[in-house]
Chain A
């Protein structure tokens, strides 16, 4: 079965620090990759996604992620975090193809940014 691993469960940073959150998946075929963010009390919002093409994907709010197929990874990065980035971040994977199916989620990483 497909699995998604997020290695960091809780990350604490000061403002302006750089961020990298790891995500690895187990499926060997074509995949579609997503990062979602959940701010306290709010619903899941899409940060960025990769379907095909340039493996370096830019999303909203200055986030980017790099798909490295050989490493089965899709790590999320931001060069300088802000207090408002405090949230939970989920990596998710769907099998690739003409029709998207279900998403497989990682367990999430809680990011806390101190002002």
Chain B
């Protein structure tokens, strides 16, 4: 099954700055998804990223705050912009395999905003 490499694994950032998280898949996936996982809570979908088109954002998430790129079928980035302490969370990417077999997940990025 596809393997996703997610970077960075963790970071501590100053408020007001931005962080870009990268996910590289070792094979093609169709849809890619970006999730946020806050302590003690479930995974919340931020947006769905498709190649060559704008990402589709879930309610409560906007492109200006979480711009996403998907230049090809094996790579995507999520930027957390103008960070505040409330953005401290784990961010996960996921890909839907091309044979519709299932999903693969990155290892997550633990972000702390100070």
Contact = CB atoms under 8 A, between A and B. Distances in A.
B96 A100 contact: yes
Interface in B43-93: 43, 45, 48, 92
A99 B100 contact: yes
Contacts of B107: 42-43
Contacts of A107: 40-42
Interface of A: 4, 34, 36, 42-44, 46, 49, 90, 98-103, 105-108
B92 A44 contact: yes
Given A46-B102, A103-B103, 16 more contacts: A34-B102, A42-B107, A43-B105, A43-B108, A44-B92, A44-B105, A49-B102, A90-B42, A90-B43, A100-B96, A100-B100, A100-B103, A102-B48, A103-B45, A105-B42, A108-B42
Contacts of B42: 4, 90, 105-108
Contacts of A34: 102-103
Interface in B15-55: 31, 33, 35, 40-43, 45, 48
23 contacts: A4-B42, A34-B102, A34-B103, A36-B105, A42-B107, A43-B92, A43-B105, A43-B106, A43-B107, A44-B105, A46-B102, A46-B103, A100-B102, A102-B45, A102-B48, A103-B33, A103-B43, A103-B45, A103-B103, A105-B43, A106-B42, A107-B42, A108-B42
A13 B102 CA distance: 30
Contact of B31 (A44, A90, A101, A106): A101
A102 B108 contact: no
Nearest to B97: A100
A35 to B, nearest CB: 12
A43 B100 CA distance: 20
Q: Which of A34, A99, A103 has the most CB of B within 10 A?
A: A103
Nearest to A49: B102
